[in-house]
Amino acid sequence: MYQKFFFNFFLALSLLFTGWPSVSAQSDDHLYGFLSDLQVTVKSGPSQLITELSSEGPTSEFNNQAGLSYGIEISKQLSRNWESGVEFGSTILRGKTDSPDFSAFGNHSSFTPPFSDPVFYRNRLLSSRAFVQFNGFWGQRDFLLLPFVRAGVGLLQYKSELRYNDGREDNFIFGKRVEDYKDAVMSTAVYNVSPGLRLSLTAKVKLMAAINLNLVNYDFLDVVHNYNKAGERVDAVGLYTDFWIGISVLFNNTGRYNANSISKKQIQSLPFYRPR
């Protein structure tokens, strides 16, 4: 089911990404084709697991700590307000507990028998996503604060490890794609919503800040599965966040969507416009 969904989604996105044929027909300039108004952004910032939610309620079996995330994205302006693109990134989630009390004790082979020694987890998530973004604008000059909101969907690949945190040499407990589980490859879908702001420094360069809220329909972000009191696996969703700071560069700028190309009449129609 996932394969068919992602195929259809990326196919639809690729049709959007090529730009509107009617626009290309309006000019012979090569800038009005596939390579026009492309924006490349590099970004980085802290990331953290927020919680895992199930029918048993929110679950947090660790003291979750900040990790590091970074990524690169390529997007195309489709109109003054709409943009679509793809992004690739890496996120590290981590946490620890000095007194483990996992619901997996006695229910999972790697957690039988239970243990009480301090442990930590580290989960590296490699992501590839497609997104659609709505851009707003404030003001009409070159230096602008540009709010946006983005929705996306993609695929996460996991490299996960749970280890003892007491200095012992053989500290590995459980994981994916590491040590005894190096052949255990796992991937899941991820959905995200990202409100943010861009600060336009020049016609081609912008600073970006955004909060990326990610939803995963699986209970493995902290590398420990969740069980109910009857010893049954519970269906849980994980929520984690990235705080992005980045810089964007616009290539082959046609000027069609520049904030300062908005007409005076359009600016005067804005609800917050005040004549000077």
> How crowded is the C-beta side of 99, counted as CA atoms within 13 Å?
0
Across 27-36, 41-50, 71-80, 267-276, the highest mean pLDDT is recorded for 41-50
pLDDT per residue as tens digits for the range 116-174? 899 999 999 999 999 999 988 654 444 578 899 999 999 999 999 999 998 888 899 99
Count, residues in the chain: 276
SS3 content of the chain, % helix, strand, coil (to 5): 15, 50, 35
Tell me if the pTM is above 0.85: no
Ordered by start, the domain boundaries in the chain are 2-268
Q: Decide if pLDDT at 5 tops 90.
A: no
The CATH number given to 2-268 is 2.40.160.20
pLDDT per residue as tens digits for the range 200-222? 888 789 999 999 999 999 989 99
